[in-house]
Structure 1
């Protein structure tokens, strides 16, 4: 996609490519705990973060956005997709806004998202499934990044599949870094309650 290759981007660094945390699923995150920690805005990628690639919003996604609304979060969909895809998803989940053709990994979409939500880098968290667009962009914008495993891997457009191979190499380095890194910021998960 042109947004990946044409965005004005700084050189890659280990810090920009590694997420602050890497977990199995968006739906494992304990958003109530994050709210207690001071977060007020959540930016989500859509495809393979919330639902399989190009799938409509399902009951689980709808329940998540309702939960976020009840907790008090501002939520925003940040996608490189065209407007019809993102708008349809937004209308189904209701409790969010959206930015389409966001130009990730460029930082402009992330900054615009925070402006729309009335948050800043200290009160915003990003959740996505790709290193070379989602995580890289969030980190460069100064936002806490949480990478999730793709909902349905390998059922994607060819350029995304190609990036998955590159990401696999980066994730090998991340696993070592996670053992010794000092800035791993574990996101609270529903399974970690009571620990």
Structure 2
């Protein structure tokens, strides 16, 4: 019933992903949500985020931010990082997931999406045929519409963990 929302992986943090292993598996493109995936909602890129993308470039990855935020938010976050980005992405619509892969020169077979929301980030990646990793939100402070979605996410994650045998 809820399978269309189940992530391919569920990890503690975007900073806990084994990126070296992903690269060894043939992944070359990484798509990221920003708010509550890499930094708290509305926060600028911090030292940890900047260092992560320096590390990813050294490994050999191409990255793109895919955000439903407006250009001011995404561009200001990206100032210290310097990656490609798509703002106002209308996730979970598939079009901008595909556009991001075009920007990176990757496809569904060698791209992974990393985000913190099931009904936008993960559902959109699944609809686009992209491997995905759900991460726990960095900070509890969120906009009201996201807070409401989190209640529904808990239900889906209950069934996901039950199926995975991690309850």
TM-score using structure 1 length: 0.83
Residue 16 of structure 1, CA deviation: 2.0
- 1:175 and 2:154 aligned: no
Output aligned runs, 1:139-150, within 5 Å: 139-150=126-137
- 1:46 and 2:34 aligned: yes
Residue 15 of structure 1, CA deviation: 3.0
Match of 1:113 among 86, 96, 100: 100
Counterpart CA distance in 1 for 2:107 and 2:129 is 9
Name the Cα RMSD after superposition: 1.1
Residue 14 of structure 1, CA deviation: 2.9
Deviations 1:42-86, CA, capped at 9 Å, x for gaps: 000000000000000000000000001111100000000000100
Counterpart CA distance in 2 for 1:58 and 1:93 is 10
Residue 109 of structure 1, CA deviation: 1.0
Counterpart CA distance in 2 for 1:68 and 1:60 is 12
In the other structure, the counterpart of 2:89 is 102
**SS where residue 93 of structure 1 aligns?**
coil
Counterpart CA distance in 2 for 1:161 and 1:49 is 15
Structure 2: where are the runs of 5+ without partners? Answer: none
Output aligned runs, 1:1-195, within 5 Å: 14-94=2-82, 96-153=83-140, 155-179=141-165
Residue 179 of structure 1, CA deviation: 2.3
Residue 177 of structure 1, CA deviation: 1.6
Counterpart CA distance in 2 for 1:63 and 1:124 is 21
Deviations 1:15-61, CA, capped at 9 Å, x for gaps: 32000010101001111111111000000000000000000000000
TM-score using structure 2 length: 0.97
Counterpart CA distance in 2 for 1:130 and 1:116 is 23
**SS where residue 160 of structure 1 aligns?**
helix
